[in-house]
């Protein structure tokens, strides 16, 4: 899919605006949206070559579309990978990755703190097909090492995690994976390529939920996998072609345009998040704040090394906090009070939006696991997650103070 010709060594911020497939004969400046299911072939013989993969060319939008290709080329350029494949959702990306890389009898090591649906997909659905899995601590490298078996094919991590923002050491996990002859896959949803390019730290494949910061305005569901061209062409493309977890061109176009402002949004939202986290730490009623940009965060030093924006350590835009002590029932009542007292924030589980969202993880995103599992994961009834957007910071503080002030 012919990329637009650009000079070498462009900065990621430039690639975010410029990398795409070549413009059409009409010379459009904003990339075109190609809403078409199929592509007309110039003649029967060309069709034969294209269907046999002997010649590049668009065939059918289940697996080739120029708008999707533009999004893929732009995201690959930003992640520093050779290639990218767009998918219908973040979960479709993980499904495609597992289908392409795993078979019955293989073993996966996965952080126990990853996205809940990822745990169910790898531990549950793929378990049905004979894929073994071990779930280990996000931050204890020793547990990852100890879980390695002769049939280990994949290590899967996400950093920082949702909602407690635990940070894993990507370089250390890549070393363990490679020594075992396995691949390290990193879900880079929370950082996005604006803050972290895990391939530079040794990761092999990057997963994205385009739904979050890449779109950035809460409009579409989308996903992607970034990685080496050979792996994507040989292992993932055939699955996409036959299984069809396809990214719609319209959604690809929305994400493509979202990528243009990713870096400045991440910068502004992360700055807001740091100010909010610092303020929350000083509020009566708040027992603990979880944010990698705070010195009190257990992996603060690692996070500041691994996540940078314009050369500075950056904590990202998600902040969680626990209300003080109390029994579970009172904690939940108080958390609901703080959430329901907001008048600006949206009470919704999405994140990565310019609109700040506030959620109660124990009864929503983590509501389907048992109370014992929740306690093991550190998700108490007094925990509130704020995915910080672009509103003016004093308005956000005032919005949370409405409920928190009752604890004065």
Considering the complex, state which of residue 148 and residue 226 has its C-beta at the smaller distance from ligand PLP: 226
Choose the binding region for ligand PLP from 46-54, 196-204, 207-215, 384-392 (rule: CB under 6 A): 207-215
Output the CA torsion sign for 180, 89, 91, 95.
negative
In terms of CB distance, is 159 or 334 closer to ligand PLP? 159
Binding-site size, ligand PLP (CB under 6 A): 13
Is 138 a residue that touches ligand PLP (CB under 6 A)?
Answer: no
Selected from 113, 211, 307, 320, the binder of ligand PLP by CB under 6 A is 211
Work out whether 223 is an interface residue with ligand PLP (CB under 6 A): yes
Q: Taking CB under 6 A as the criterion, which residues in 32-91 touch ligand PLP? A: 89-91
Query: Taking CB positions, which residue lies at the least distance from ligand PLP?
Result: 90
Of 221, 287, 328, 369, the one binding ligand PLP by CB under 6 A: 221
Strand partners, 383: 322
Strand 205-209 and strand 223-227: pairing?
antiparallel
21 or 203: CB nearest ligand PLP: 203
Closest separation in Å from C-beta 408 to ligand PLP: 34
Q: Are strands 107-111 and 132-136 parallel, antiparallel or unpaired?
A: parallel
**Does residue 196 bind ligand PLP (CB under 6 A)?**
no
- Sequential DSSP letters for 184-218: EEEE-TTTHHHH--GGGGT-SEEEEETTTTTT-SS
Q: Is residue 135 part of the contact set for ligand PLP (CB under 6 A)? A: no
C-alpha pair distances (Å), 28 with each of 23, 25, 57, 233, 275:
6, 8, 20, 29, 41
Nearest CA among 264, 270, 325, 263 for reference residue 294: 270
274 contact partners, CB below 8 Å, separation of at least 6: 291, 293, 294, 315
Strand residues in 188-301 grouped as ranges (E): 205-209, 223-227, 286-290
Instruction: Express the helix, strand and coil content of the chain in percent, nearest 5 each.
Output: 40, 15, 40
Q: Which of 34, 58, 115, 291 binds ligand PLP (CB under 6 A)?
A: 115
Provide DSSP, 91-107: HHHHHHHHHHH--TT-E
Q: Which residue, 148 or 164, is less far from ligand PLP as judged by CB?
A: 164
Stretch that binds ligand PLP, among 22-30, 42-50, 143-151, 209-217 (CB under 6 A): 209-217
User: Is 188 among the residues that bind ligand PLP (CB under 6 A)?
Assistant: no
- Rounded-to-integer distance, Cα 271 and Cα 392, Å: 11
379 binds ligand PLP (CB under 6 A): no
Give 44's contacts (C-beta < 8 A, 6+ positions apart).
Answer: none
In the bound state with ligand PLP, the residue whose beta carbon lies nearer, of 17 and 221, is 221
Residues in contact with ligand PLP, shown as a per-residue x/- string from 151 to 170 under the rule CB under 6 A? -------x---x--------
CB of 102 to ligand PLP, least distance (A): 18
Question: Does 213 contact ligand PLP by CB under 6 A?
Answer: no
C-alpha distance across the termini of the chain, in Å: 60
- Is 187 an interacting residue with respect to ligand PLP (CB under 6 A)? yes
SS3 316: coil
Using CB under 6 A as the binding rule, whether residue 227 contacts ligand PLP is answered as no
Strands 357-359 and 383-387: antiparallel
Tell me which of 212, 257, 265, 297 binds ligand PLP, using CB under 6 A. 212
> CB of 75: closest distance to ligand PLP in angstroms?
14
β-pairing verdict for 183-187 and 318-323: unpaired
Task: Tell me which residues touch ligand PLP (CB under 6 A).
Answer: 89-91, 115, 158, 162, 187, 189, 209, 211-212, 221, 223
């Amino acid at each position: 899919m012919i990329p637009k010709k650009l000079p070498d060594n462009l900065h990621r911020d430039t690639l975010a605006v410029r990398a795409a497939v070549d413009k059409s004969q009409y010379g459009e400046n904003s990339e075109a949206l190609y809403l078409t299911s199929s592509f007309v072939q110039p003649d029967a013989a060309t069709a034969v070559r294209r269907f046999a993969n002997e010649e590049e060319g668009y065939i059918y939008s289940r697996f080739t579309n120029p708008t999707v290709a533009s999004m893929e080329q732009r995201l690959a350029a930003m992640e520093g990978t050779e290639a990218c494949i767009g998918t219908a959702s973040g979960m479709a990306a993980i499904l495609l990755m597992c289908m392409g890389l795993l078979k019955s009898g293989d073993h996966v090591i996965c952080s126990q703190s990853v996205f809940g649906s990822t745990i169910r997909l790898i531990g549950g659905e793929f378990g049905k097909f004979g894929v073994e899995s071990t779930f280990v601590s996000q931050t204890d490298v020793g547990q990852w090492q100890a879980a390695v078996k002769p049939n280990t094919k994949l290590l899967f991590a996400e950093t920082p995690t949702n909602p407690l923002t635990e940070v894993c050491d990507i370089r250390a996990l890549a070393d363990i994976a490679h020594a075992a002859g396995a691949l390290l896959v990193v879900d880079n949803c929370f950082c996005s390529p604006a803050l972290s390019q895990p391939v530079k730290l040794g990761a092999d494949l990057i997963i994205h939920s385009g739904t979050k910061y890449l779109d950035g305005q809460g409009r579409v569901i989308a996903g992607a996998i970034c990685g080496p061209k050979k792996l994507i062409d040989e292992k993932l493309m055939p699955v996409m072609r036959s299984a069809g977890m396809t990214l719609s061109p319209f959604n690809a176009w929305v994400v493509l345009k979202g990528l243009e402002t990713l870096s400045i949004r991440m910068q502004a939202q992360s700055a807001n998040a740091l100010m909010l986290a610092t303020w929350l730490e000083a509020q009566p009623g708040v027992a603990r704040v979880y944010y990698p940009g705070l010195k009190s965060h257990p992996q603060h030093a690692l996070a500041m090394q691994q996540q940078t924006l314009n050369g500075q350590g950056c904590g990202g835009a998600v902040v969680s906090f626990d209300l003080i002590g109390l029994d579970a029932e009172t904690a939940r009542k108080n958390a609901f009070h703080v959430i329901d007292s907001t008048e600006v924030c949206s009470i919704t589980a999405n994140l990565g939006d310019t609109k700040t969202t506030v959620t109660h993880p124990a009864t929503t995103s983590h509501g389907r696991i048992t109370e014992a599992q929740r306690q093991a994961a550190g998700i108490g009834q007094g925990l509130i997650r704020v995915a910080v957007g672009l509103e003016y910071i004093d308005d956000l503080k005032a919005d949370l103070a409405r409920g928190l002030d009752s604890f004065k």
